[in-house]
Amino acid sequence: MATAGTSSRGASSYDRGETSPALLTTTIGVNLTASAAAFPDRDALVDLSSGRRWSYAEFSHDVRRLASGLISAGVAAGDRVGIWAPNCAEWVLTQYATAGIGAVLVTINPAYRSHELAYALKQSGVATVISASRFKTSDYAGILGEVAPECPELREVVIIGDTRWRDLAGTPVDTASLAQRGATLSTQDPINIQYTSGTTGYPKAATLTHRNILNNGYLVGELLGYTESDRICLPVPLYHCFGLVMGSLAATSHGAAIVLPGPGFDPAATLRAVQDEACTSLYGVPTMFIAELGLADSGDYDLSSLRTGIMAGSSCPAEVMRRVIDDMHMAGVAICYGMTETSPVSTQTRSDDSPARRVETVGQVGPHLEIKLTDPGTGATVSRGQVGELCTRGYSVMTGYWNDPETTAEVIDADGWMHTGDLAVMDDDGYVRITGRIKDMVIRGGENIYPREIEEFLYGHPDILDVAVIGVPDQTYGEELMAVVRLCEGATPMTVEGLREFCAGRLAHFKVPRYLRIVDDFPMTVTGKVRKDEVRRQGIEHLADG
């Protein structure tokens, strides 16, 4: 297991991760084969909603059958294969089968509608789509029938569970063809296209390699202390890095089990999965853990098997962290920070970090990576304790955005640094605290204001459950602040005067919000982040409506 303490330290906000364990130098397919050989009888995959489970020997065999079927269907190395489905066993089988033959898996958000689906299929040039027939209110098969004529490179649509799927998944293993294909693959080959959440404009297609995502999953798992004895409960979506990298690849690179509690997040099903499958690790964004702890019978589940897990996507309130550690037995829970473009994890708390470190920071730089904080205006590395843009360099940085070299050049500089757009502060020990987004920074009358600072202050108001601070246009100052808040149940209706009174004498006058808007909920990304662009748009409309 990697340990902290070997990173470089200095006066500037630069840090470099430890160099052990060594990076993996195989493809995903070769790594899975090795795990299956080492742990043939251990559980690899448990899909509770369908009641199916696979040992590593069975899982590897079924992956090779599907891979053989895809080769027989004419899927070549480099072809894009889309997967559009909620969490299910077939999703995981497809992930490893495509990796084994060098096809590029294009992961599609289960919530997409026809316009978004058509864009992803066309932009990445998907040749084959493997899809669920439907999920919740979405008729996937019907939507695919509508958009297929718009996608000239799309050759085949395969619906999970139908005859064509059964034929592909049941193809006899063609050892010779698999070996021949495997011999042509490189760890640097693109293997996955993931669309960013698209908070501004069209989603961008981050292109990731075997080396990117296999190593990120492996090293995240190393810091969590994973072994073949671990069982990872995954209620997070597989189509996102949280599920397919930090979840699936962290598991299979250690011989651990992947446990899927259901097709979508359900707090009761998640806790039941932990209990019934004796899971040792649980993943989620803070809102998932809040929902699980908020169940009326949450204390009735036996969660004593848990020891660790990952919380990511947004900051965790101190009380929630306390209950996750104490009530859910997750003493080793880690906070991870990253982005799709970096496979995703760049920083992570360690198992011996204090609860305060896990609440207030996103940890230290990961193994084999470098991070620095730079002045957004000059590009110079700032000193420790100063705010700067977080940049990452190393094995995890994507090859670029698919077919978009111009946008790629905007975020990856000539020296290989990925500019995240996140503002952060690094302390003397290398721990990083995210303070906001560059695009969220508000400039009021020449003063740079960081909304995250004001949000953290307003969380101290007894009636505020959640808050987002945004900048809205102002003729005098250029921008003014608006606090958009969710109130606690039963709270007294809040007024802007009352809010200002709460802030008076405790915040500089230019940081006190001029406007207040009360909402029932926030528009969110899949990883639990508030979509500030949408909150801003709604806020501007609210002011225009008077």
Domain ranges of the chain: 20-368+393-419, 444-544
> Which 8-state DSSP code applies to residue 3?
-
**Around Cβ 189, how many Cβ atoms within 10 Å?**
18
Exposure string for 408-435, b = 16+ CB within 10 A, e = fewer: beebbeeeebbbbbbbbbbeeebbbbbb
Ranked by mean pLDDT, which of 112-121, 378-387, 527-536 comes out on top?
378-387
E strands of 184-254, at which residues?
A: 190-195, 205-209, 231-233
Dihedral Cα 216, 220, 222, 227, nearest 10 deg = -100
Residue with tokens 């920083």: 347
Contact 392, 369 (CB under 8 A): yes
pLDDT of residue 200: 46
Contact 403, 123 (CB under 8 A): yes
User: In this predicted model, what pLDDT tens digit does every residue of 2-30 receive, in sequence order?
Assistant: 344 444 455 899 999 999 999 999 999 99
Print the SS3 string covering 150-167: HCCCCCEEEECCCHHHHH
Mean pLDDT of the chain: 94
Residue 314 has pLDDT above 50, yes or no: yes
User: In this predicted model, what pLDDT tens digit does every residue of 431-450 receive, in sequence order?
Assistant: 999 988 888 888 888 777 88
Rounded-to-integer distance, Cα 417 and Cα 427, Å: 21
Q: What is the DSSP string of 355-385?
A: HHHHHH---EEPTTEEEEEE-TTT-PBPBTT
* Sheet-wide strand order for 388-394: 14-16, 369-374, 388-394, 418-426, 432-437
Rounded-to-integer distance, Cα 87 and Cα 83, Å: 11
User: In this predicted model, what pLDDT tens digit does every residue of 365-406 receive, in sequence order?
Assistant: 999 999 999 998 899 999 999 999 999 999 999 999 999 999
Rounded-to-integer distance, Cα 91 and Cα 236, Å: 13
Rounded-to-integer distance, Cα 230 and Cα 43, Å: 10
Contact 57, 72 (CB under 8 A): no
Rounded-to-integer distance, Cα 519 and Cα 275, Å: 36
Q: What is the pTM of this model?
A: 0.87
Does the domain made of 444-544 have the CATH classification 3.30.300.30?
Answer: yes
* CATH architecture for segment(s) 20-368+393-419: 3-Layer(aba) Sandwich (3.40)
> Cα 136 to chain center, whole Å?
22
pLDDT of residue 201: 58
Rounded-to-integer distance, Cα 342 and Cα 526, Å: 17
Contact 413, 419 (CB under 8 A): yes
> Which 8-state DSSP code applies to residue 125?
T
